[in-house]
Structures are given as structure tokens and as C-alpha cells.
Amino acid sequence: MAMEDAIILAKCLRDIPNWNNAFEKFEKLRKERTEKIVKTSEQSGKFMTSTNPIGKLFRRMLLPSLIKSYAKRLDWIFSYKIDWDEKIK
């Protein structure tokens, strides 16, 4: 997220002459993706940190098979591409 933010912010500052407008645009561009990643992280954290004995057993039994499917579900995070040459409007 930090690397994505740095690149998007750099593009905003490069393409929008007014710094205040550039920062506002940056916030608008990053808000939806950031909120979605936070929500996904919270859900994952709840599953991985369950202290309930049944939840722990369930996690131990399912984790090996879930890793591959979970990685596919998170592809939208890890395959995110930023086109440096695309202008911010």
C-alpha cells in the first residue's frame, strides 16, 4: 500500500499544478481500494486470531487447503498495476 500510495501521489503532484487539489485527488483515488483492503485484512485477522477452541481447531484443519484459494481471492491486491504514463485528471 505504501508503494502504491507513493506512486499515485507522485502522479497527482506531477499532473495537478495546485498541491491542495493534487492531495484531494490522491485521497479520492485511494479511498475505495484502501477501505477494501482494510476490510479484507480485518476479516482475515479475525479468522487467524480466533481464541475460541473450536475456531482454533477449524483453522488448523482448514488452513492448508485454504491457503491456495485465499491467495486467488487476494489476487486483486497483488496484481494491481499502475500505469506511470497515464495522466491524472
pLDDT digits (tens, 9 = 90+) for 43-61: 877 767 777 888 778 777 7
Count of the separate structural domains present in the chain: 1
pLDDT for res 47: 67
C-alpha cell at 53: 477452541
Read off the pLDDT band of 2 (50, 70, 90).
very high
What SS3 state is found at 50? coil
Asked if the model's pLDDT at residue 10 lies above 80, the reply is yes
Q: The domain containing residue 45 runs over which residues?
A: 2-78
Within a domain: 87: no
Q: Is residue 84 part of a domain?
A: no
Query: Residue 59: what pLDDT?
Result: 74
Task: Report if residue 83 sits inside a domain.
Answer: no
Does 41 reside within a domain?
yes
- Grid cell 477449524 — which residue? 58
Domain-embedded: residue 88: no
> What are 17-52's pLDDT values in tens digits?
999 999 999 999 999 999 999 998 888 777 677 778
- The 3-state DSSP class for residue 80 equals coil
Give the whole-angstrom CA distance, residue 65 versus residue 26: 38
